[in-house]
């Protein structure tokens, strides 16, 4: 048999935006606000990137196949959006078109003819496609190999708030046991772990930790990986860094900064979207000290000390990334 290689098609999406961050960092809020800006398509999840990039890291799939698959996925996604195929009409979802700035757009597209005319419409358009992703930048070395054109808005959150939210969401115990965990799970020595636990040095000792401690280690290790990659990001003009507190407390100013970064502007519906998300909100930090106290009571001193160190870096211009 002849050697088979994979060829990626032309990417139809000119303005691809990754809204990236750790679990529970505020990505859906960010996505809801960003998708209210001018020339935005409705919000989508980019879960295929979340699975393929770790698989590339572990050498389970090669670069050519991954690029071919992911570009085809993006092209099919935007093609289907242009005719409202596979459109989310759930009224409670932030990715649902009822939450979009103009739901009528997608209702009209239901009646549009498919085929080459759709491709022509896509090529003539200058839309943005916002994709919500988890932990994309912790695999930047793999993302870079795909040679895609994109912008990234990276959102961070106070590490204590993250750990508390992870614990309350059961992310210290649900890996491999809950079918609603849609992230990649690996099995090492008969133990189910999230993919990013692949390099933990003492996995047996890790299994002896309580749920809060596991969440703390998950969070800090992923923050460390993300920071390492963001600091070597080659396309810093295509990177914007924000954080949950800033987005919620200074919503209008921060969203205007994001619009400027993307070279777009508020739409007629942006103000109403901000209000719908109950922003700005000056009470968002109200329970932070209680969360920190709870974590202190439930983790070892060394783990708490690492969280304190991480928090100080976070409070310094978001890990000093706002100076980029």
Cα 293 → chain centroid: 28
Q: Please indicate, yes or no, if residue 216 is contained in any of the structural domains.
A: yes
In a domain, 75, yes or no: yes
Q: What is the mean pLDDT of residues 252-279?
A: 96
C-alpha 83/C-alpha 37 separation (Å) is 21
Give the model confidence (pLDDT) of 121-139 as tens digits.
Answer: 999 999 999 999 999 999 9
Average pLDDT (16-31) is 97
| Residue 177 resides in a domain | yes
What pLDDT score does 296 carry?
97
Confidence of residue 323 (pLDDT cuts 50, 70, 90): low
| Predicted confidence (pLDDT) per residue in 174-216, tens digit | 887 788 888 888 887 777 888 888 877 666 677 789 999 999 9
Q: What is the mean pLDDT of residues 233-258?
A: 92
Q: What is the pLDDT of residue 201?
A: 63
pLDDT at 193: 83
pLDDT tops 70 at residue 172: yes
Which 8-state DSSP code applies to residue 43?
A: P
Q: Quote the pLDDT of residue 315.
A: 95
Report the pLDDT value the prediction gives residue 71, as an integer from 0 to 100: 96
Write down the mean pLDDT value for the chain.
Answer: 92
Is 149 within the bounds of a domain? yes
Can you tell me the mean pLDDT for 34-53? 96
Rounded to whole angstroms, the Cα distance separating 85 from 88 reads 9
Whole domain around residue 124: which residue ranges? 15-323
Report the pLDDT value the prediction gives residue 61, as an integer from 0 to 100.
94
8 occurs within a structural domain: no
Model pLDDT, residue 204: 63
pLDDT for position 198: 82
| Between 78 and 176, residue with greater pLDDT | 78
Instruction: Compute the average pLDDT of residues 236-242.
Output: 90
Listed ranges 78-92, 199-213, 230-244; the one with the highest mean pLDDT: 78-92
Q: How far is CA 213 from the centre of its chain?
A: 23
Q: Is the pLDDT of residue 324 over 60?
A: no
Q: Model's pTM, two decimal places?
A: 0.94
The CATH number of the domain where 99 resides is what? Answer: 3.40.50
Residue 103 lies in a domain: yes
pLDDT number for residue 202: 65
Quick one: pLDDT at residue 124? Answer: 93
Structural domain contains residue 1: no
Q: How many domains does the chain have?
A: 1
State the DSSP H helix or E strand holding residue 243, giving kind and residue range, or none if neither.
Answer: strand 239-243
| 248-256 long-range contacts, CB within 8 A, separation 24+ | 248/26, 248/29, 248/279, 248/280, 248/281, 248/284, 249/280, 249/281, 249/282, 249/284, 250/280, 251/33, 251/277, 251/279, 251/280, 252/280, 255/33, 255/34, 255/37
Confidence of residue 262 (pLDDT cuts 50, 70, 90): very high
pLDDT of residue 179: 87
Q: Is the pLDDT of residue 297 over 70?
A: yes
Classify residue 3 as exposed, middle or buried by CB count within 10 Å of its CB (0-12, 13-18, 19+).
exposed
- Contact (CB, 8 A) for 18 and 152: yes
Q: What percent of the chain has pLDDT over 70?
A: 97
Q: Is residue 9 part of a domain?
A: no
């Amino acid at each position: 048999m002849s050697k088979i290689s994979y060829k990626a098609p032309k990417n139809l999406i000119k303005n691809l935006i990754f809204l990236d961050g750790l679990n529970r960092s505020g990505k859906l809020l960010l996505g809801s606000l960003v998708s209210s800006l001018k020339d935005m398509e409705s919000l989508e999840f980019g879960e295929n990137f979340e699975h393929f990039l770790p698989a590339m890291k572990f050498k389970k799939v090669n670069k050519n196949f991954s690029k071919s698959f992911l570009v085809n996925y993006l092209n099919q996604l935007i093609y289907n959006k242009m005719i409202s195929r596979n459109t989310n009409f759930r009224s409670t979802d932030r990715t649902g078109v009822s939450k979009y700035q103009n739901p009528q757009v997608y209702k009209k597209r239901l009646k549009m003819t498919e085929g080459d005319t759709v491709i022509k419409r896509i090529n003539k358009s200058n839309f943005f496609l916002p994709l919500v992703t988890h932990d994309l930048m912790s695999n930047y070395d793999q993302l870079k190999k795909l040679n895609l054109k994109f912008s990234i808005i990276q959102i961070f959150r106070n590490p204590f708030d993250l750990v508390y939210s992870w614990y309350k969401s059961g992310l210290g115990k649900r890996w491999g046991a809950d079918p609603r965990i849609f992230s990649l799970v690996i099995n090492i020595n008969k133990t189910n772990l999230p993919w990013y636990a692949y390099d933990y040095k003492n996995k047996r000792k890790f299994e002896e930790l309580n749920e809060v401690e596991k969440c703390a280690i998950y969070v800090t290790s992923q923050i460390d990986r993300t920071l390492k990659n963001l600091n070597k990001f080659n396309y810093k003009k295509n990177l914007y860094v924000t954080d949950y507190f800033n987005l919620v407390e200074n919503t209008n100013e921060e969203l205007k900064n994001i619009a400027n970064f993307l070279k777009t502007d508020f739409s007629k519906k942006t103000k109403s979207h901000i209000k719908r998300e109950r922003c700005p909100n000056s009470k968002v930090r109200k329970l932070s000290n209680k969360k920190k106290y709870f974590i202190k009571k439930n983790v070892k001193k060394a783990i708490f000390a690492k969280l304190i160190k991480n928090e100080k870096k976070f409070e310094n211009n978001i890990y000093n990334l706002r100076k980029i």
